[in-house]
Chain A
Amino acid sequence: DTAVSQTPKYLVTQMGNDKSIKCEQNLGHDTMYWYKQDSKKFLKIMFSYNNKELIINETVPNRFSPKSPDKAHLNLHINSLELGDSAVYFCASSPRQGVYEQYFGPGTRLTVT
């Protein structure tokens, strides 16, 4: 069974479109995250979310918004896509407290043309 899954794995779209990436975890974790990995492989946190608290990295444009229908899902919505949004987006989850590592999904490669 896949612990953290993302769909789609690849997404190609045009500038100006609105798209969503879905994430689901079956680990019973309290907290979920979105990370962006750019073309130079640099990984940066975008959001941290549990059912009570959303932490937003201040550098993330407000065109990006996480939406959580329930504890096991955290979807990423992106409005008005730009060329610079092209990257690999990773979803992750972890228990809320403690030393536990974050479990990552397989990533979604987004290409904006």
Chain B
Amino acid sequence: AQTVTQSQPEMSVQEAETVTLSCTYDTSESNYYLFWYKQPPSRQMILVIRQEAYKQQNATENRFSVNFQKAAKSFSLKISDSQLGDTAMYFCAFRGLSAGNMLTFGGGTRLMVKP
């Protein structure tokens, strides 16, 4: 069974600064997908970024980028030029290619962006 660990329950960052959220996972599969989801106070789950494990290049979406280290089973999220609207819970998620296509989530990191 896969496990996903987010070691930072809470983080804060000043507006316009950069913050990195950590995520590690454990799996015996060689091919899989990784995601970061954002959950603002509205509780809607919003996809931030995704990464295919077979791709060496780190994914980037505007101010959001990942540092994917497959050997270390690490998948951190970097948010540049933090904005107040980035305040939310952030969840790292793993999806293998086994039956069901189900996501396994980490415990989440609560990010507060301060003005």
- Which residues of A does B touch, CB under 8 Å? 31, 33, 35, 40-45, 48, 53, 55, 57, 88, 90, 92, 94, 96, 99, 101-102, 104, 106-107
Contact = CB atoms under 8 A, between A and B. Distances in A.
B21 interface: no
B68 interface: no
Contact of B43 (A42, A88, A96, A99): A88
Contact of B100 (A35, A41, A48): A48
A90 B102 CA distance: 13
Contacts of A57: 102
B43 A43 contact: no
Nearest to A56: B100
A42 B105 contact: yes
A48 to B, nearest CB: 4
Interface of B: 33, 35, 37, 39, 42-45, 47, 50, 52, 89, 91, 99-105, 107-108, 110
Given A48-B102, A55-B100, A96-B101, A106 B47 contact: no
A2 to B, nearest CB: 11
17 contacts: A31-B101, A33-B102, A40-B107, A41-B39, A41-B107, A43-B103, A43-B105, A43-B108, A45-B100, A88-B43, A99-B52, A104-B44, A106-B42, A106-B43, A106-B44, A107-B43, A107-B45
A53 B91 contact: no
Given A53-B99, A55-B100, A101 B105 contact: no
Contacts of A31: 101
A48 B35 contact: no
